[in-house]
């Protein structure tokens, strides 16, 4: 079956010119067999008139969290709140509308430390729900969780619970937990618990919801950036039982967490290697373990990002301004990276502060470049505060700069000038430096820490303005913005390259799979928030169509 998609403006080349673009795309079964003008197009069985709309390669989210995103779709959103009292009233309202039989626990998302002046006390949440249910609140950046007393009990956390390595359980003077769990305490205690208490069917629904939402936003690919047994098994089962609902290419990075001994850490890498042997590019190209993920520091907003110089202010007036050290000691991190690399796994290192970025680059330098053989395409996630020399090092070592422009939204960075000082703030989100140095720049959203919309993400990448508060004229380091073509390429071709999917997808070229999105979109970065996804095709099959009317 050959289908000709015509009367379109096809983004088929990086030197795309909206006035002189290819106008049609011929798809045979799952693949693109022709891109060009209508008069030269080979014969087709069916024609689809795209009414002059724009056709881009299907978006690939270079960094996202599949199960968390899926479950977030049903969480109580605190994103619009600005104070503790607003948070309390939002939860109180939601609690009355959610019956305890359907919702035995209340899950909330989108809280930022700045909304509550860095405070996160169980006691502030304890009287909100007449049913006394456990309340779990994810920080917007997912690096910490705020729990009420019932949730702490549900987690089994009390005075005697040891603080996990690389994390913190906030306590009072007597050692009793007060409600906040951060870094590895959130990642290794709260996340797995929340995932565990959901049933397998609920979790499969979360994944299905996530894929549906992604297809509707124009995506045909995603890189899952903190995979564990639970996520892997849920996704594997869904794909096996309902293959038609799995309309997305999924590459996963296995999360390696700090542990008490080196053996325990390396055993996690071995598990990733074992799964990769079974689910790799050759054996399972659209559902595979691409590599590992290691979180090297926290986030600026919680003052947990590792900086070369101290913060200029603490979270509260009394807090220390000292920067924490990276979460991994160099020696063990190097062993982790080398073991993964030796087994042909890609390494993704989360590094936000300039000290963590330096550690990440130095560590990856011990394995890349490999003389005479192919790059492993290791990657660094976030790169929010970098030193001027980092860009060229990323490029020369073949390290992908995996960036999330939604995190550069001016509306969520209002605490940064105070925490970092004016000099360093000017260095934040130096995307253009990475691109100009020649590094592979791949765009992701880090959903659900930020909205998953590709178009919103591209808007902030290209304008450095807020998609949250579009009326706001503020920009963040506008000089580091990407051009529209650069940004679209980073969200398609480069994101595909970042996970070794570029031979199959990420571009509208003969021989590639027919993964594409039809958009009602003006070719103007300032108008991206008005653009709409009309249809999404995955391997030639329409997996999303905007409803008429």
Residues contributing to the site for Zn ion (CB under 5 A): 225, 446
Which residue's C-beta sits nearest to Zn ion? 446
Q: What string of DSSP letters covers 257-313?
A: ---SSHHHHHHHHHHHHHHHHHSSTTT-TTEEEEEEEEE----TTTT-S--SS--SS
Q: Give least dist CB 539 to Zn ion, A.
A: 27
**Is the Cβ of residue 62 or residue 164 nearer to Zn ion in the bound state?**
62
- Closest distance of CB 141 from Zn ion, Å: 8
Residue 469, CA distances (Å) to 138, 139, 434 in order:
22, 20, 27
CA dist., res. 123 & res. 448, Å (int):
26
* Choice between 10 and 490, CB closer to Zn ion: 490
Q: Which is nearer to Zn ion, 106 or 256 (CB)?
A: 256
Task: Please report how close the Cβ of residue 255 comes to Zn ion at its closest, in angstroms.
Answer: 10
Measured from the CB atom, is 61 or 446 closer to Zn ion?
446
Return the number of the residue (133 or 140) whose C-beta is nearest Zn ion: 140
Nearest to Zn ion of 207, 225 (CB atom):
225
What span, in angstroms and rounded, lies between the C-alpha atoms of 513 and 507?
9
- Residues composing the chain: 549
SS (H, E, C) 427-459: CECCHHHHHHHCCCEEECCCCCCCCCCHHHHHH
Q: How far is the CB of 292 from Zn ion (least distance, A)?
A: 14
Give me the least distance between CB of 389 and Zn ion, in Å please.
25
Instruction: Report helix angle 454-463 to 484-491, nearest 10.
Output: 140
CA angle 325, 328, 329 (to 5 degrees): 85
Quote the CA–CA distance of 453 and 464 in Å, as a whole number.
16
Residue-wise DSSP of 382-408: E--B--TTHHHHHHHTT-EEEE-GGGG
Instruction: Fill in the DSSP letter of residue 43.
Output: P
Q: For residues 179 and 353, which CB has a smaller minimum distance to Zn ion in the complex?
A: 353
Supply the minimum distance, in Å, between the C-beta of residue 225 and Zn ion.
Answer: 5
For residue 5, the cross-strand partners are 25, 48
Q: How far is the CB of 26 from Zn ion (least distance, A)?
A: 38
Residue with smaller CB distance to Zn ion, 108 or 351: 351
Pair of tokens at residue 273:
């290697």
* CA distance linking residue 101 with residue 380, whole number of Å: 43
- CB 415 to Zn ion: min, Å: 20
């Amino acid at each position: 079956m050959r289908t000709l998609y015509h009367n379109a403006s096809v983004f088929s080349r990086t030197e795309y010119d909206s006035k002189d673009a290819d106008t049609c795309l011929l798809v045979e079964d799952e693949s693109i067999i022709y891109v060009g003008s209508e008069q030269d197009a080979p014969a087709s069985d069916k024609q689809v008139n795209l009414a002059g709309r724009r056709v881009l390669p299907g978006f690939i989210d270079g960094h996202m969290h599949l199960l968390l995103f899926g479950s977030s779709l049903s969480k109580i959103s605190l994103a619009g709140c600005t104070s503790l009292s607003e948070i309390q009233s939002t939860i109180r309202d939601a609690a009355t509308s959610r019956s305890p039989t359907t919702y035995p626990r209340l899950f909330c998302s989108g809280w930022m430390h700045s909304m509550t002046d860095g405070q996160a006390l169980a006691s502030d949440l304890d009287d909100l729900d007449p049913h006394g249910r456990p309340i779990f609140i994810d920080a917007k950046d997912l690096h910490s969780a705020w729990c009420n007393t019932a949730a702490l009990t549900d987690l089994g956390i009390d005075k005697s619970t040891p603080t996990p390595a690389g994390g913190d359980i906030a306590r009072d003077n007597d050692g009793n937990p007060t409600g906040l769990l951060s870094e590895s305490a959130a990642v290794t205690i709260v996340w797995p618990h929340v995932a565990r208490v959901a049933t397998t069917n609920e979790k499969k629904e979360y994944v299905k919801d996530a894929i549906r939402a992604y297809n509707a936003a124009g995506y045909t690919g995603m890189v899952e950036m903190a995979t564990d047994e639970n996520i892997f098994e849920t996704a594997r089962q869904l794909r096996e039982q309902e293959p038609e609902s799995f309309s997305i290419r999924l590459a996963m990075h296995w999360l390696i967490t700090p542990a008490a001994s080196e053996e325990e850490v390396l055993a996690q890498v071995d598990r990733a290697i074992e799964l990769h042997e079974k689910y790799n590019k050759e054996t399972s190209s659209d559902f595979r373990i691409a590599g590992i993920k290691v979180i090297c520091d926290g986030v600026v907003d919680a003052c947990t990002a590792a900086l070369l110089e101290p913060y200029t202010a603490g979270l509260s007036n009394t807090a220390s301004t000292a920067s924490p050290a990276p979460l991994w000691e160099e020696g063990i991190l190097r062993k982790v990276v080398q073991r993964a690399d030796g087994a042909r796994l890609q390494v993704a290192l989360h590094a936000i502060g300039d000290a963590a970025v330096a550690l990440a680059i130095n560590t990856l330098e011990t394995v890349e470049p490999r003389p005479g053989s192919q790059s492993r395409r290791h990657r660094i996630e976030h790169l929010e505060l970098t030193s001027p020399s980092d860009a060229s090092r990323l490029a020369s070592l073949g390290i992908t700069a995996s960036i999330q422009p939604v995190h550069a939204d001016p509306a969520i960075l209002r605490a940064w000038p105070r925490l970092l000082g004016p000099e360093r703030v000017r260095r934040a989100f130096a995307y253009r430096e990475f691109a100009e140095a020649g590094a592979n720049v791949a765009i992701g959203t880090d959903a659900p820490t930020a909205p998953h919309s590709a178009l919103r993400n591209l808007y902030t990448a290209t304008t450095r303005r807020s998609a949250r508060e579009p009326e706001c004229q503020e920009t963040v380091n506008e000089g580091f913005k990407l051009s529209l073509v650069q940004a679209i390429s980073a969200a398609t071709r480069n994101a595909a390259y970042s996970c070794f999917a570029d031979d199959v997808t990420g571009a509208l070229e003969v021989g590639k799979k027919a993964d594409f999105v039809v958009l009602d979109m003006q070719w103007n970065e300032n108008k991206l928030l008005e653009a709409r996804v009309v249809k999404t095709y995955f391997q030639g099959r329409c997996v999303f169509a905007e409803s008429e009317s």
